[in-house]
Structures are given as structure tokens and as C-alpha cells.
Structure 1
Amino acid sequence: MARLEYQSVDSEIADRIRERRGGQLTPLDQMLLHSPPIADGWNSLLGAIRTRAGLPADIRELAILRVAALNGADYEWNAHEPVAHRAGLTPEQTEGLRVDVVDPAATLTAPQRAALAYTDAMTRSVEVPDDVFKALHEHFDDRHIVELTATIGTYNLVSRFLVALHVGRPDEATEPDTLDENGAVA
């Protein structure tokens, strides 16, 4: 059960969130609406990362799933796994992103492996070793590196918010999620 009550709010901010989401608020949105300014900023940031950035969708979703796996954010994983498949990751590749997999990079392409190593470094220890960054730079231009970095950082925020406040845990009944234009709830 969530640690705070979900908010069902009618406001301009909630309407902007609903617009990005395709009509309804998710449990994540309903938790964020405890602080309308945070909910509004969150909506803008996630909208930019999900719909206005040029990072290849498979790389974006790989990073999101890996962050969810590393941080134990099942709600986020469940929301993004189908999006990752639509973005071109195979079920074998997404399963390889789970933390209990011995060699998560075994089924990935070279750019995906570089993004995975970068995601792991940023999420596990924050500091990125030079060799990891150099390998990343072999596959991505500066804009994509900035967008990947922002995606990893943002989804660490998302996953830690979800886990800390028990948002969307399987032991609670919630309204069915409405997916955004990319088919994910966050």
C-alpha cells in the first residue's frame, strides 16, 4: 500500500499531466500532485525526455529498464517493458537487464552495451570511469550523451520516488493506467 494517499485533483497542472498521459492520471501522478509545483516540473521534464529528445528509443528504454532493475522499481519495469519491446529490444534483451543475470550485455549490440555500462556506473556509483565514458563516446554524439545522462538521472529519480513511497505496489488496487503516446505510464 502506498505510504501517502493518492490525490485526485482537478487543476490546470493535473490537466497538463492528463494531456501528456492521454486522459488519465497514473498512481505516480496522483502521488506527485501532493505538491503541484513538483508535479508540473516533473511532467515537463518527463515529457522532454520521453517525446522531445533524439536519443534512440531502444537506448532510452534500455536505460530506464536497467535503472528500474537496479533500484527494485517493479512498477517502472512493468510500465516500460512493453515500451522497450516496441522500441526494438527483444524479450531476451530485456530479461538480460535484470540484476540477477550473470552477463546482461550478452545479447546487446555494441551501442547498447556501452549504454548499459554507463547506466550501471551512474546508478551504482555515480562516478563514471573514463573507460566507460570513452566507450560511450564511440557510439553516441554529444547531444545523445547528454540525453542519455539526463534519462538515467531522471529515471533514478522516478524509481527512487516510486520505491520510497510504495507507489503502484502490487498489494494495492489502483485505477488502470492510461499510457502516454509512447505506451508507458512515466
Structure 2
Amino acid sequence: MTGPSKPPIGLPASLEGATREQRRVAELIASGPRGSVPSPFLAMLDAPPLAEAIQAVGAVLRFSSILPDAEREIAILATAGAVRCGYEWNYHAPIARAAGVAEAVVAATLPDAFGMEDEPAATLIRLCRRVASEGESDPDLLTAAVERFGRAGATEIVAIAGYYRLLAGFIKAGGFDQPFSPFP
């Protein structure tokens, strides 16, 4: 009889078998604003310097963003929906709700959800879906985002879409993804 299978990459939450460098990076992440080592970072701890750099980018996007919390969370949810990452969507949906994002907007970020007309959420959702799924944005959509959120805000939205797409890759490669749980 064999024990539970180990994910193809990453470490278990217990950090069993972690090297000194892996533990250092895990402690750095846990002592920061996240307060723990979420699954995406467990999945990338096989490469500690990479995990450290990626988490630093995420900390800036999540905890030092110029975007209001609600807009940032809509962007994260839209990206998670676009790349079909239930773990990330489930993690951020309660944060979005706590930031005051309407339930109709949260639902509009799910995979295969129909577009919405509510602005500025519609621009956020369309831009993140496009960047996350195609790796680019059409010029008109990016112009609309710049008009609504400013150049720095639009830049952060594009970065959020790319960053959370990257995290979704680690979540899935590490075997941490889960089904979407759209209802609170």
C-alpha cells in the first residue's frame, strides 16, 4: 500500500523535506502580508529564488496596488475565470465580496459567463480575459482601460492578468486546483 501521492512539483504545506533555502523563502512569504504560504507558492518552492521573486511581484500587485480593492479583486477573479483556475477564483471571491463587489459582477467573472454592461467592471473583465487567454489586448480595449483607470491603473490590470495566469500554471502543475465554488 502506498501513501498519498506527492504533487509533481512543489512542497506539502507541512514543508516536509524542505531545504534550508526553501524554508527561508516560505518563512519570508508567511511573515509578509499574506500571513501564510498559499498553494501557488508551495508549488514553486522547488526553485526558491524564483518563488521569492514571484511572490514579491504579487505582494506589490495585491497589497500596494493603486487600484481600489474592488477593482483589483474583479481583475483577479476575471483572470482566474479566464484561465479556469478554481483555486484562485475561490480564494479571491470572498475577498471581492468583502471589498463590496456586487454578486452579479462576481458571477460575471466565472468561466463561460456572459459579458456584462456594468462599467467599469465590464472593461476590467474584458481586458483581463483577453490578456489572460490571448496574451495581448486589442488597442481599443486598452484605450478604454486607460480612460477609466489611468495609465498606471491599466498597467496594473495587465500585470494582474499576467501574474495570476502565471500563478494558475503553478497551481495546476502542483495539483492544487479545485472546482469553482461560486456560492458563498
The answer to whether 1:118 aligns with 2:130 is no
Supply the distance in 2 between the matched residues of 1:105 and 1:62 (Cα, whole angstroms): 13
Q: Indicate conservation of the 8 Å contact 1:72/1:163, yes or no.
A: no
Aligned to 2:66: 54
Supply the distance in 1 between the matched residues of 2:138 and 2:67 (Cα, whole angstroms): 22
Q: 1:120 to 1:169 in 2, by over 3 A?
A: closer
The answer to whether 1:73 aligns with 2:85 is yes
Question: Which segments of 5 or more consecutive residues in structure 1 lack a partner in the other structure?
Answer: 171-186
Aligned to 1:105: 116
Q: Which runs of 4+ in 1 moved over 4 A?
A: none
Q: Which one-letter code corresponds to 1:68 in the other structure?
A: A
Supply the distance in 2 between the matched residues of 1:145 and 1:27 (Cα, whole angstroms): 27
Q: Which one-letter code corresponds to 2:87 in the other structure?
A: Y
Per-residue CA shift, 1:152-183, capped at 9, x if unaligned?
1101111122123322547xxxxxxxxxxxxx
Q: How many equivalent residue pairs?
A: 166
Aligned to 1:179: none
Supply the distance in 2 between the matched residues of 1:47 and 1:68 (Cα, whole angstroms): 17
Q: Which one-letter code corresponds to 1:134 in the other structure?
A: T
Aligned to 1:147: 156
Aligned to 1:182: none
Q: Indicate conservation of the 8 Å contact 1:63/1:152, yes or no.
A: yes
Per-residue CA shift, 1:71-126, capped at 9, x if unaligned?
11111111000011112112222112112223x314x3x22211122112212222
Specify the SS of the correspondent of 1:138: helix
Aligned to 2:170: 161
Greater relative contact order (Cα < 8 A, sep 6+): 1
How do 1:21-36 residues align onto structure 2 when only pairs under 5 Å count? 21-22=34-35, 24-36=36-48
Distance apart, 1:47 and its partner CA: 0.7
Per-residue CA shift, 1:1-24, capped at 9, x if unaligned?
7333525146332211111222x3
Supply the distance in 2 between the matched residues of 1:12 and 1:3 (Cα, whole angstroms): 22
Q: Indicate conservation of the 8 Å contact 1:28/1:162, yes or no.
A: yes
Normalised TM-score (structure 2)? 0.81
The answer to whether 1:3 aligns with 2:15 is no
Q: 1:26 to 1:127 in 2, by over 3 A?
A: closer
Question: Which segments of 5 or more consecutive residues in structure 2 lack a partner in the other structure?
Answer: 180-184
Q: 1:136 to 1:35 in 2, by over 3 A?
A: same
Q: Indicate conservation of the 8 Å contact 1:6/1:31, yes or no.
A: yes
Specify the SS of the correspondent of 2:120: helix
Per-residue CA shift, 1:127-154, capped at 9, x if unaligned?
3212212211221111111111111110
Specify the SS of the correspondent of 2:149: coil
Supply the distance in 2 between the matched residues of 1:97 and 1:144 (Cα, whole angstroms): 19
The CA RMSD over aligned residues, in Å, is 1.9
